[in-house]
């Protein structure tokens, strides 16, 4: 059966599930049974068809502690889409640790000027030591522009770990003794300076959440994406086939799946060569 037909059936059945008004998790839906009769068991997803999420009981849970001066920042990112679904299904637990509660004195001080002089402030060791001490059995990551670049490999690795701690740096930096004694890994979101590590932590949480079994309905969508095979993704199109004279490439409408795959592979290589030649040089696909 062609991927297009499977996709269409998945969408129809998904809609049927929604239309029954049953809750969108757990998948005790009657329509799943119908789909099973149609396709048989799918080994990728136990008793359910891959579009449907697994019951929470079968999930590996990743717990992420986030040490931040701004817990409120995460309200949006944790409450939306895939991350919210991961939390709801029990695949992901996020525990926000308010660093201010570990601050020093009446003013809950967190930062001080650098020894030796210079601009800006440095995050002090005492509050971070106090917040990190109970989390020493977790894998502790500090987000900082001077860290190793975060990549899909980083997220793949983190998604296998049971307990992670993400420390959101701020100001000019963090007292080096925190890094030397409490941090397992320093990671950067990219070669630019943000106001703090919160954006990086939110990006990492989302990147990890979508890798957890059952959180993204169709495992193929995480398997086939950009970077997995060292290439960027090809362009995609949907209806209408022609919008005010801008037509979809004919091959995609041809029904010839061999040709379509060939076209997609060519576009992936072409796009990667143009935008990210470093991936072709460094990656597994250096011979393409």
Choice between 8 and 193, CB closer to ligand ADE: 193
Residues within the interface to ligand ADE (CB under 6 A)? 143-145, 169, 188-190, 192-194, 196-197, 200
Cα angle 275-276-282, degrees, rounded to a multiple of 5: 165
Choice between 184 and 262, CB closer to ligand ADE: 184
Choice between 127 and 169, CB closer to ligand ADE: 169
Instruction: Give the shortest CB-121-to-ligand ADE separation in angstroms.
Output: 14
Instruction: Give the shortest CB-216-to-ligand ADE separation in angstroms.
Output: 25
3-state SS, one letter per residue, for 201-257:
HHHHHHHHHCCCCCCCCCHHHHHCCCCCCCCCCCCCCCCCCEECCEECCHHHHCCCH
Choice between 159 and 189, CB closer to ligand ADE: 189
Phi-psi region of 64 (alpha: psi -120 to 50; beta: other; left: phi over 0): beta
Instruction: Give the shortest CB-168-to-ligand ADE separation in angstroms.
Output: 8
Choice between 103 and 173, CB closer to ligand ADE: 173
What is the DSSP track for 86-135?
HHHHTSEEEEEEEGGGG-BTTTTB-EEPPTT--SS-EE-HHHHHHHHGGG
Instruction: Give the shortest CB-109-to-ligand ADE separation in angstroms.
Output: 21
């Amino acid at each position: 059966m062609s991927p297009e037909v499977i996709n269409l059936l998945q969408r129809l059945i998904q809609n049927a599930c929604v239309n029954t008004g049953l809750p969108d998790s757990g998948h005790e839906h009657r329509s799943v049974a119908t789909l099973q009769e149609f396709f048989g068991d799918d080994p990728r997803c136990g008793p359910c068809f891959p579009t449907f999420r697994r019951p929470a009981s079968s999930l590996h849970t990743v717990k992420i502690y986030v040490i931040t001066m701004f817990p409120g920042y995460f309200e949006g990112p944790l409450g939306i889409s895939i991350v919210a679904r991961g939390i709801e299904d029990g695949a992901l637990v996020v525990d926000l640790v308010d660093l201010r509660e570990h601050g020093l004195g009446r003013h809950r001080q967190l930062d001080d000027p650098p020894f030796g002089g210079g601009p800006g402030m440095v995050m002090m060791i005492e509050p971070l030591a106090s917040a990190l001490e109970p989390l020493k059995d977790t894998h502790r990551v500090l987000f900082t522009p001077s860290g190793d670049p975060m990549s899909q490999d980083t997220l793949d690795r983190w998604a296998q770990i049971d307990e992670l701690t993400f420390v959101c740096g701020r100001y000019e930096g963090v007292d080096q003794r925190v890094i030397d004694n409490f941090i397992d890994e320093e990671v950067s979101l990219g070669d630019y300076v943000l106001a703090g590590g919160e954006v990086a932590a939110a990006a990492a949480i989302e990147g990890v959440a979508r890798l957890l079994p059952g959180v993204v309905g169709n495992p193929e969508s995480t398997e086939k994406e950009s970077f997995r095979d060292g290439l960027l993704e090809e362009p995609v199109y949907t209806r209408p086939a022609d919008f005010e004279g801008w037509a979809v490439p004919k091959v995609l409408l041809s029904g010839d799946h061999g040709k379509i795959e060939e076209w997609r592979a060519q576009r992936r290589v072409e796009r990667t060569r143009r935008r990210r030649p470093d991936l072709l040089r460094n990656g597994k696909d250096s011979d393409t």
